[in-house]
């Protein structure tokens, strides 16, 4: 037997995955180069070989879930390229002001039509709150309402939305809580469509990096933005939030969270989906907010990201014929791999979703947690 195949097959078997098996999480290998790609490039090789059509699985999300469940990532030694990349991130600021714009160009500007067909009607590109519903639109409105209640919004308040996307929060809050929102994004496409979606409402957009912010706001919200900040910039990010928040204000950070403190993201995600991204740990957030904020509340509903990502994939897959002329088959496989592998990571509780409520000095008498 080919030595590369023997090693890979042994690893897969440890997770209960078999090549050519009959279970939905088993895999079929169409090209023998698949085995060398795993030995040579690990996780990056797994994703790239799928994009090339070298392997497939009847249920990829179940297959990746079993890899996480079996801790196979801990059993695969890092290759020299990955080790050098990790070392380089420790001395280089991958999320500097100039480099931060790359994710806007490469991911968020990939096409508003794609996102409009994949996401809910309000275009929320973050985890929904699936309490008492099995509908994506309702889950995302639940999430927006939850955030508004946690922020204790009142009519006339000025709210800053850092990383506003297409303005889903600002539009919902303006319609239901009579507040004014300023949103910043690094995506030109998001700004242009967001302004159309929020036309006639007190919701403004600026193409701006968070490091350029100034002014004072009653409330600050950041939904799915901290994942792009990077460990070298956490203190600066929260310093900006502190400087822009009034003394008796409330800030809410909605972010994916890691069980481990790391300085990189997945090599495949970095190359193909979210360049220069990085998922923060509780330790990293804690060190960044020390002496600046009181953490009033931490709410983890990461298991709902599995449901959200599967809903996005189903929308993407069922609408592929409407957008396929703008992309190619490799893009389809790339996007499928991105959505399903991430769903599996949350299903395995390898990644989390945190909503963190912060105040500058702490609420006298305590803050009432909302669920």
Superfamily of domain 97-359: Vaccinia Virus protein VP39 (3.40.50.150)
Task: Give me the pLDDT at residue 298, please.
Answer: 98
- Contact (CB, 8 A) for 238 and 339: no
Task: Give me the pLDDT at residue 84, please.
Answer: 45
What interhelical angle do 282-289 and 234-244 show, nearest 10? 50
Question: Mean pLDDT of residues grouped by 10 in the chain (371 residues)?
Answer: 86 95 97 92 92 97 95 65 47 54 65 94 98 97 98 98 97 98 95 96 97 96 95 95 98 97 87 90 97 97 98 98 95 97 97 98 93 96
- Residue with the two structure tokens 């508004």: 148
Q: For the whole model, what pTM was predicted? A: 0.92
Domain ranges of the chain: 3-77, 97-359
With 0-12 / 13-18 / 19 or more C-beta atoms within 10 angstroms meaning exposed / middle / buried, residue 266 is buried
Q: How far apart are CA 158 and CA 144, in angstroms?
A: 17
Task: Give me the pLDDT at residue 35, please.
Answer: 94
């Amino acid at each position: 037997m080919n030595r590369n195949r023997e090693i890979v097959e042994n690893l897969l078997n440890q997770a209960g995955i078999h090549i050519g098996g009959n279970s939905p999480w088993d895999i079929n290998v169409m090209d023998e180069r698949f085995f060398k790609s795993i030995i040579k490039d690990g996780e990056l090789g797994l994703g790239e070989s799928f994009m090339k059509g070298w392997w497939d699985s009847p249920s990829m999300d179940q297959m990746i879930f079993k890899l996480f469940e079996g801790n196979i990532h801990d059993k695969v030694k890092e290759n020299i390229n990955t080790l050098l990349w990790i070392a380089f991130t420790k001395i280089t600021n991958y999320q500097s002001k100039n480099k931060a714009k790359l994710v806007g160009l490469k991911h968020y500007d990939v096409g508003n039509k794609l996102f409009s067909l994949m996401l809910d009607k309000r275009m929320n590109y973050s985890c929904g709150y699936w309490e008492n519903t099995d509908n994506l639109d309702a889950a995302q409105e639940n999430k927006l309402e939850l955030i508004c209640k946690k922020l204790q919004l009142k009519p006339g308040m000025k709210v800053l939305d850092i990383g506003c996307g297409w303005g889903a929060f600002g539009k919902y809050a303006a319609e239901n809580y009579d507040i004014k929102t300023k949103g910043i994004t690094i995506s030109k496409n998001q700004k242009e469509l967001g302004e159309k979606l929020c036309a006639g409402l007190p919701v403004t957009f600026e193409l701006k990096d968070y490091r350029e912010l100034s002014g004072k706001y009653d409330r600050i919200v950041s939904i799915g933005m901290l994942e792009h900040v990077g460990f070298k910039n956490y203190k600066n990010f929260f310093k900006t939030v502190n400087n822009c928040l009034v003394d008796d204000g409330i800030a809410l950070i909605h972010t994916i969270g890691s069980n481990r403190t790391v300085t990189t993201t997945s090599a495949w995600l970095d190359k193909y989906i979210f360049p220069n991204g990085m998922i923060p740990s509780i330790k990293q957030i804690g060190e960044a907010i020390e002496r600046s904020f009181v953490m009033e509340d931490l709410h983890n509903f990461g298991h709902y990201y599995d449901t959200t990502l599967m809903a996005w994939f189903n929308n993407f897959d069922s609408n592929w014929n409407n957008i396929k002329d703008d992309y190619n088959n490799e893009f389809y496989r790339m996007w499928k791999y991105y959505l399903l592998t991430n769903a599996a990571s949350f299903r395995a509780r390898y990644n989390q979703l945190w909503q963190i409520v912060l105040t500058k000095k702490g609420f006298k008498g305590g803050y009432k947690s909302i669920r």
